[in-house]
Amino acid sequence: MRATVIAELGSRLSSGSGRPKEGVWLFTALVLTAAIPVLLLGGWMAYITADQERSYARKAATEALTQVAHRIEGEISRELQVAETLASSAALDQGNLRDFYLEATRIVAARPLWETAALTKPDQEQVLNVLRPLGAPLGPVTDTESFNAVLRTRKPVLGGLGPYQAAIGKQLVSLRVPVIRDGELRYILTIGLLPDQIGTILGQAGLPVGWAGTVIDAKEKIVARTPDTKVARAGVTTPAVQEAMARGGSSSPRTQTREGIDVETVHRVLAGTDGWSVHVGVPVSELNAPVSRSLRLLFGGTAASVGLAIALGLVIAREIAQRRRMEALQSAAALLDSEKRGALAIDAAELGTWRWDLSANEFSGCGRFCALLGLAGSRSGETRWSADRIFALVEPPHRAALASFATDCLESGRSSSVEFPIQSDDRGEYWLRAAGRAEGPPHRRHVIHGVLADIDVLKRAETERSHLLRRLASAQEEEQRRISRELHDQIGQTVTGLSLGLKALEQGLAKGSNGKAATEQVRWLEQLAAQIGRDIHRTASDLRPTAIDDLGIFKAIEAYVAEWQERYGIRVDIQTFGRDNSLPADVAAVLYRLVQEGLTNVLKHANASKVSIVLEKKPEALALVLEDDGIGFDPENVGRIASGGRTSGLGLSGMKERVALLGGTIAVESAPGKGSTIFVQIPLEASETVR
């Protein structure tokens, strides 16, 4: 319609009808009316497009920053590995500085990033420097802060950009590595890295043409930059970079490079460099180029599309409406998908959802809720039950706990839970846990929402654990009785015989009996004393094997295995790895008992001809594998109560309990007729160890 009006006004003006001034103003007003939506829409679209392109440019800067950072981190890591390899040189084991000097000179010549390598004692006395002849006087240590950091931590340290050294006409970056022998810090190896070479790495990292890159040390000194790879002496970062570092953000405000180019910078701290960072500056002209280009296109397009403003506005409006509809549909689909995932998570956890309306005295729950309570319910949707019907399913002693749970939810408004048993015909008695929460202000809370879970397995596990602890206590009491009987029956009788023998010897000497009889009497008494010693040693070994303290855990186990193999005639192959490392005292005792109990089980039950034992000590864990070729067993039936009230599998249960106390894991693989294998993993802490 607007185009029709414009055509009509044009025909009137051309025919000379009407007042010319009013016609011109009306035509101008209509043109402006048609152009304003186009201008506004075009400006809005230009702004969005420019902002998106600027965002893409910033994203590209972040990706370029990550690429550059990874490149520099990789190079520094490789140089650190080479330096640590040089620090472990065998020439330093014997203190052969000449061989080490030659080796260091060869490596420095082969590493483009290295300018020099120096060896310094902990008291800051330089021993050698490959830039000077061996034995020549050397100057003081530079960058003492990184030197003291190595003394304090005994770990490699990357220092900052050092002072200008007139002797070599360069500034160097110190990479320091401790030289430790027999636990003693003997030297500190210092590698002088060339900032120019770091600048070369920065230049080869793939920054786009015109972008500026800068590497800054922990003291905010510029180590290298691109495109200008030459760094002024002790250069300092610009105020914009300092401000960004102080904020801790990833970007800094707009600043200028040395070449006078306005840039916006992003930065990232380099991993493993003790505070170094790399900065990438994107020219502001590149960021603003999309805006300038969009404005030019806007003005040119506006001049050519005034007549199509209304149609274009309608098309864009429809497009926007369609996008909004699509976004609304996508949001609805995402919400539905989230609800499905939540329902799937509840189903996977085998939880039943329920709702308890205390004002209506009514429960409603899903099919899983009904199944857990043994009620007939709908598979899809919720089923309603009266609260009295639900309470009737709970054992009478636990109904008060369920009522108290509801009161606590309503009064506190916090989540609460309660456990109670249920009796069913097919499962017997089993335990459930109800957890729920009441929403709303205190005076309006009358509905509790929650979930119901089957915890019967956990309850049975707790019961079995308590039963196991009682059995272990009983076994401990029985062991004490055995030791008491052994002391009384064996050592006590032997001591009595020794006492009577000494009395008889005293009487014989008083009567003046011949020396031969007295000698025989003394020999007999010596045998009794030796027997007492053996009995005491055997009893003490049962309580605490002294071989662990005397020989160490690995040799103690090997000695026990050798004695067991000789006594019972069953072949045992034992392999140990990492035996030079120490073990915590509690782990060593448990390990000995595990091997002891495992071999006892083999002797009692396996009817095996061969046993294999593998022990491996790792920095983070201890592994034990015990395998036999015996008759095997069914692991599922171990520990069940047998006829007569006796329980089998106490030995294996005891092993599991010992391992569990140390936070370890134990797994058993066996089948009737196929032997058995026990796998044990015990975590270790590096702090508490014994030999």
Lowest mean pLDDT among 49-58, 242-251, 298-307, 599-608: 242-251
In a domain, 43, yes or no: no
Residue 238: which pLDDT band, with cuts at 50, 70 and 90? Answer: very low
What mean pLDDT do residues 311-331 have?
Answer: 74
Asked if residue 595 and residue 480 are part of one domain, the reply reads no
Per cent of the chain over pLDDT 70 is 69
- pLDDT per residue as tens digits for the range 82-123: 988 988 888 888 888 888 888 889 998 888 889 888 899 898
What mean pLDDT do residues 644-668 have?
Answer: 73
Asked if residue 230 and residue 167 are part of one domain, the reply reads yes
- pLDDT per residue as tens digits for the range 436-468: 888 778 777 888 888 888 887 787 777 777 776
What mean pLDDT do residues 326-332 have?
Answer: 82
Contacts of 334 (CB under 8 A, 6+ apart): none
Nearest by Cα to 432 from 445, 444, 421: 421
Q: How many domains would you assign to the chain?
A: 4
Residue 498 has pLDDT above 80, yes or no: no
Asked if residue 608 and residue 498 are part of one domain, the reply reads no
pTM for the full model?
0.38
Residue 13 has pLDDT above 70, yes or no: no
In a domain, 528, yes or no: yes
Residue 235 has pLDDT above 50, yes or no: no
In a domain, 34, yes or no: no
Predicted pLDDT at 130: 87
In a domain, 8, yes or no: no
Predicted pLDDT at 160: 79
Asked if residue 507 and residue 445 are part of one domain, the reply reads no
Lowest mean pLDDT among 384-398, 435-449, 470-484, 596-610: 470-484
Distances in Å between the Cα of 132 and the Cα atoms of 104, 116, 119, 168, 589 are 12, 10, 12, 11, 57
Predicted pLDDT at 19: 46
Predicted pLDDT at 680: 94
Distance, in Å, from the CA atom of 167 to the CA atom of 373, rounded to the nearest integer, reads 88
Domain boundary among 407, 430, 454: 454
In a domain, 127, yes or no: yes
Predicted pLDDT at 520: 74
Residue 604 has pLDDT above 70, yes or no: yes
Query: Angle CA(682)–CA(684)–CA(685) in degrees, nearest 5?
Result: 155
Indicate the average pLDDT of the chain.
Answer: 75
Residue 642 has pLDDT above 50, yes or no: no
Asked if residue 229 and residue 131 are part of one domain, the reply reads yes
Asked if residue 136 and residue 270 are part of one domain, the reply reads yes
Residue 593: which pLDDT band, with cuts at 50, 70 and 90? Answer: confident
Distance, in Å, from the CA atom of 437 to the CA atom of 414, rounded to the nearest integer, reads 6
Asked if residue 388 and residue 262 are part of one domain, the reply reads no
DSSP annotation string for 378-416: -SSS-EEEEHHHHHHHB-HHHHHHHHHHHHHHHHH-S-E
Asked if residue 260 and residue 122 are part of one domain, the reply reads yes
User: Kind of pairing, strands 416-424 and 251-256?
Assistant: unpaired
- pLDDT per residue as tens digits for the range 508-532: 666 666 667 777 777 777 777 777 7
Per cent of the chain over pLDDT 90 is 5
Distances in Å between the Cα of 493 and the Cα atoms of 397, 488, 498, 518 are 57, 7, 9, 22
In a domain, 298, yes or no: no
Domain boundary among 263, 286, 309: 286
The whole domain housing 450 covers: 350-454
Predicted pLDDT at 527: 75
Predicted pLDDT at 242: 43
More confident residue, 95 or 81: 81
In a domain, 45, yes or no: no
Distance, in Å, from the CA atom of 539 to the CA atom of 489, rounded to the nearest integer, reads 13
CATH number at residue 612: 3.30.565.10
In eight-state DSSP terms, residue 690 is B
Asked if residue 273 and residue 154 are part of one domain, the reply reads yes
What mean pLDDT do residues 389-405 have?
Answer: 84
Residue 481 has pLDDT above 60, yes or no: yes
Domain boundary among 286, 305, 320: 286
* Helices and strands, counts by H and E, the chain: 18, 21
Distance, in Å, from the CA atom of 352 to the CA atom of 350, rounded to the nearest integer, reads 7
Residue 432 has pLDDT above 50, yes or no: yes
Asked if residues 429 and 391 have their Cβ atoms less than 8 Å apart, the reply is: no
Asked if residue 129 and residue 193 are part of one domain, the reply reads yes
Predicted pLDDT at 290: 66
Asked if residues 499 and 547 have their Cβ atoms less than 8 Å apart, the reply is: no
In a domain, 160, yes or no: yes
Rounded to the nearest 5°, which phi and psi values hold at 194?
A: -85, 120
CATH number at residue 89: 3.30.450.20
Asked if residue 421 and residue 281 are part of one domain, the reply reads no
Predicted pLDDT at 132: 87
Predicted pLDDT at 404: 87
Asked if residue 567 and residue 684 are part of one domain, the reply reads yes
What mean pLDDT do residues 121-128 have?
Answer: 88
Residue 650 has pLDDT above 70, yes or no: no
- Greatest mean pLDDT range, 25-39, 251-265, 275-289: 275-289
